[in-house]
A and B are shown apart, each in its own frame.
Chain A
Amino acid sequence: DTAVSQTPKYLVTQMGNDKSIKCEQNLGHDTMYWYKQDSKKFLKIMFSYNNKELIINETVPNRFSPKSPDKAHLNLHINSLELGDSAVYFCASSSGAGSYEQYFGPGTRLTVT
Chain B
Amino acid sequence: AQTVTQSQPEMSVQEAETVTLSCTYDTSENNYYLFWYKQPPSRQMILVIRQEAYKQQNATENRFSVNFQKAAKSFSLKISDSQLGDTAMYFCAFMKNYGGGADGLTFGKGTHLIIQP
B17-33 with Cβ < 8 A to chain A:
33
Asked if B102 and A48 sit within 8 Å, CB to CB, the answer is yes
* A 78-106 binary contact with B (CB < 8 Å = 1; else 0): 00000000001010101111011110101
In the assembled complex, the CB of A39 is this many whole angstroms from the nearest CB of chain B, namely 12
Chain A CB within 8 A of B84 CB? no
In the assembled complex, the CB of B33 is this many whole angstroms from the nearest CB of chain A, namely 5
Q: Which residues of A contact B101 (CB under 8 A)?
A: 30-31, 50, 94-97, 99-100
Q: Which of A49, A97, A101 has the most CB of B within 10 A?
A: A101
Asked if A101 and B43 sit within 8 Å, CB to CB, the answer is no
Bound state CA distance, A40 and B104, in angstroms? 20
Secondary structure dominating the interface of B: loop
Chain A CB within 8 A of B67 CB? no
Q: Which 4 A-B pairs have the closest CB atoms?
A: A96-B101, A45-B104, A104-B45, A50-B102
**What would be 21 A-B contacts, judged by CB atoms less than 8 Å apart?**
A31-B100, A31-B101, A33-B104, A41-B39, A41-B110, A45-B104, A45-B105, A45-B106, A48-B103, A55-B103, A56-B102, A58-B104, A88-B43, A90-B45, A92-B45, A100-B33, A101-B47, A102-B47, A102-B105, A104-B44, A109-B43
Q: Which residues of B contact A (CB under 8 A)?
A: 33, 35, 39, 43-45, 47, 50, 89, 91, 95, 97, 100-107, 109-110
